A and B are shown apart, each in its own frame.
Chain A
Amino acid sequence: MAGSPVVKLNRVGAANLRLMDYTAYSTEDFLADESFQAFVLGDDPTAATFWRDWLGRHPAREAAFHEAESVLQLLRAAPRRQVPAALQQAEIRKLWRSMQEPVGRPASWPRLRARRRLARWPALVAVVLLVGGLLAAGLSWWRRPAQLTYARYAAPPDQPRALRLPDGSRVVLRADAALTLTPTWQPGQAREVWLRGSASFEVRHLAPPAQRAVAQAADNVKFVVHTGPLDVAVLGTQFSVFSRGSRTKVVLSTGQIQLRRTAGSAPPLLMQPGELVEYDAATPAAPLVSRAVPAQLYAAWPRERLDFNDTSVADLIALLQDTYGLQITVANPRLLSQKLTGSLPTRDLDGLLVALGQTLDVRVHRQGSQVRLE
């Protein structure tokens, strides 16, 4: 089919194999044509050549051609969002464990919530059937790990959500973020959560008070946030994670962070309070970049208002760029060194930008994530 002028016309109710005359094609005819679809979606280079040539020879059809092309372009998929690597690893481990167990053990299925409440007897039946197998399998059966089930907490698309974790730590999820973890934590178990999106953390310090260095700490007193490309390990700390598109930023307020990339074997980076470290998945091999920021500003967003005292406009602009993924340009560079004291509403970005414009006495133009102050 690809590239040849003899194409099946796949329209509702008609299928014809004949030398096609596309000169009478309407927008809908283009839309229905599978080789045209393949050309726009980039799936078929031969079809692409054919259709581009054809358009060159039939400029009269340009309007219909481009209109159909535009409809199909609307649906082109952005690169797929990653599944957290650690989650996929946990799942494959589960699969391996079950593949190595003797056949006939329904107790190893992850039980769905509806079923958990309903019936316990299938597990008992499985135990009875396996008494014989037990003698052969030995004691290792008794020590099989408890089934890992995860709970997922998500913030709605338009507002943050505050959570309390099983160890008493607090998290505020930004709008549209989600946190996954096992709903109970055993004492002596490493505290781990998986984060998608942005959030602010206040982690309880479980190690002995004298122990402050994360690198030397045992796994069972650490708290680890898996953000996908980065693992953030802390003892007892206040910090925030901002994830948007391919960029992940970690800002530390108090305590210490050990930051590690999940891929590769680069040594971990130790962060100090007042530091922001940025990772861009578009350049995964680049070293982690660190800079100093007023950390308390970065931790302010869960509250209704962002209060700042003698803060330079440059720092404020950096804050907005980091935490909202904006790109801000100013017409007058002298604006950047001005210092401000005041407060901005945080609930809604446009409201914040309007208030910022008023505070600075500039006009704010916003197009998507591009903002200009003049």
Chain B
Amino acid sequence: MTEANSAQLWNAFRDGDAQALAALFDAYYPALFGYGRKLSGDEELVRDCIQNLFQKLWRRRAGLRAVQVVKAYLFKALRRHIGDETKLLRQHRHLLPAYSDSFEVTYSHEEFLIAQQTDAEQQARLLQALNNLSKRQREALYLKFFDGFSYERIAEVMSLNPQSVRNLVFNALKTLRRVLAVTLALVCLLSSA
């Protein structure tokens, strides 16, 4: 779905078109679910948060403004919802000890194309390097490389300023370069083949 299409649907939904909101839901559900699942390991929580978010958007449609990039708006709102819910779960941990209250991106190997070309050891090293980055670096990388957001949009989603996001991504790439010299040599070979 193009940005122009979703901006149109967003305006239609604000005017009371339920079908338009349903279309946005269908278009962005996989991306939202993927992002939510990355932040919180708990799929049930993510499903509930997405559901709550859209129901709330419907109820409050009259008070909403026009939005330039709907995807970024939805990601930002979902992030806030999940953040709030995990905070609540943490507070009630004594009632619900078994529940996951993580709020950070963790990577696993099947998410990367390169995994199909390198062996288990290389994959493990890449994952370790990635999962050792700071929480914010991991999240910024996810939003850039998996959802294709621009730096300005990532800044909107994460409530940071764009230069901070650039620094996060740049520092993450620098660290990966430093830590993964061997894997890089292999990738060089593969991509020049």
Contact = CB atoms under 8 A, between A and B. Distances in A.
A266 B9 CA distance: 33
B148 to A, nearest CB: 7
Contacts of A74: 112, 114, 126, 176, 180, 183-184, 187
Contact of A71 (B29, B45, B116, B184): B184
B51 interface: yes
Contacts of A81: 34, 110
Nearest to A196: B43
Nearest to A90: B47
A128 interface: no
Chain B CB within 10 A, most for which of A32, A71, A80, A94: A71
User: Chain B at the A interface: mostly helix, strand, loop or mixed?
Assistant: helix
Interface string A226-267: 000000000000000000000000000000000000000000
A70 interface: yes
Interface in B12-67: 18, 21-22, 25-26, 29-31, 33-34, 43-45, 47-48, 50-52, 54-55, 58-59
Contacts of A78: 110-113, 115-116
B41 to A, nearest CB: 9
A93 to B, nearest CB: 10
A83 B99 CA distance: 22
Interface stretch (A104-112, A138-146, A337-345): A104-112
B96 interface: yes
Nearest to B113: A76
B167 interface: yes
Contacts of A92: 22, 25-26, 29
Given A78-B111, A83-B30, A12 B47 contact: no
Given A70-B188, A95-B22, A77 B112 contact: yes
9 contacts: A27-B177, A34-B151, A67-B184, A74-B126, A74-B176, A74-B180, A80-B30, A83-B33, A95-B54
Interface of A: 10-12, 27-28, 31-32, 34, 41, 43, 66-78, 80-83, 87-88, 91-92, 94-96, 98-100, 103, 108-110, 112-115, 117-118, 149-152, 178, 180, 367-368
